[in-house]
Amino acid sequence: MNAQPSNRSAFLDRVADSLGRPRRTDGVQRPAWKHNVHLEQLADRTPEQLVEILKEQCFFIHTQVIESTPDLLQRTLDDLIAGYGGGPVIRSGDPRFMRYGLSFLGDSVWSAQAGRAENIRLAEAANIALVFADYALAESGTVVLESRPDQGRALHFLPSHYIAVIEWERIVPRSTQAMAEMNRRHEAGGSLGSCINLISGPSNSADIEMQLVVGVHGPLRATYVLI
């Protein structure tokens, strides 16, 4: 490994000096925050209202929303895949694919067995990525996903099209609830993926004359399927 010293002590002593006090190594508590505006925002909305907010926001972030049902899900996804020009499809190894009885002809699955290089190769070759959201954030039109052995980090970025299935009960008002829940889980010693992705629609850029271009490095188009 790298043999250089990390300078840690000298560096942190200097910071403490700048703050005009000795080093603090424990006993720091977050204060009670002055405001709870983040907790209150949209907190009083019903699930039906949240779905409406999510759908409206998706219009602004260039993301198609399709409402389906567990029974129709296979057909909805098949149609979408066809609409995006067909495979190759790569999906996560999420157990929900099995639970909903979904299968796709010739698809590949991001898997622990495949290994890093093979997973990346398959994702790069794929036209469509297919995943299940861990949470959906109504306000921002966001799907939240944790990395797992069967759901790698690059899965969300390499394929040209992105389809995320959102179960109704996974919809929360905004990022506040999802991040608070994940932080609680972490602080209670539970497991949290090494990477948490909050994805709000397809990739885009306004770097050329401030004109929005949808589809830059990541997916060119995105669709959420609500069930």
Site for another protein in 155-214 (CB under 8 A): 156-158, 175-176, 179-180, 182-183, 186-187, 192-211, 213
Nearer to another protein, 7 or 105 (CB): 7
Determine if the peptide bond prior to 31 is cis (ω within 30°).
Answer: no
Nearer to another protein, 43 or 82 (CB): 43
Alpha-carbon distance of 112 to 148, in angstroms, equals: 9
- Of 211, 57, 78, residue with least CA distance to 138: 57
Using CB under 8 A as the binding rule, whether residue 223 contacts another protein is answered as no
Using CB under 8 A as the binding rule, whether residue 11 contacts another protein is answered as yes
Using CB under 8 A as the binding rule, whether residue 55 contacts another protein is answered as no
Token duo for residue 136: 């959906």
Q: From the list 43, 82, 98, 112, which residue makes contact with another protein (rule: CB under 8 A)?
A: 112
Alpha-carbon distance of 69 to 54, in angstroms, equals: 17
**Residue 21 Cβ vs another protein, minimum distance, rounded to whole Å:** 9
The strand pairing partners of 109, in sequence order, are 91
The one segment of 44-52, 76-84, 95-103, 114-122 that binds another protein by CB under 8 A = 114-122
Alpha-carbon distance of 29 to 89, in angstroms, equals: 47
Alpha-carbon distance of 119 to 108, in angstroms, equals: 9
Q: From the list 34, 48, 169, 189, which residue makes contact with another protein (rule: CB under 8 A)?
A: 34
Q: From the list 66, 68, 96, 114, which residue makes contact with another protein (rule: CB under 8 A)?
A: 114
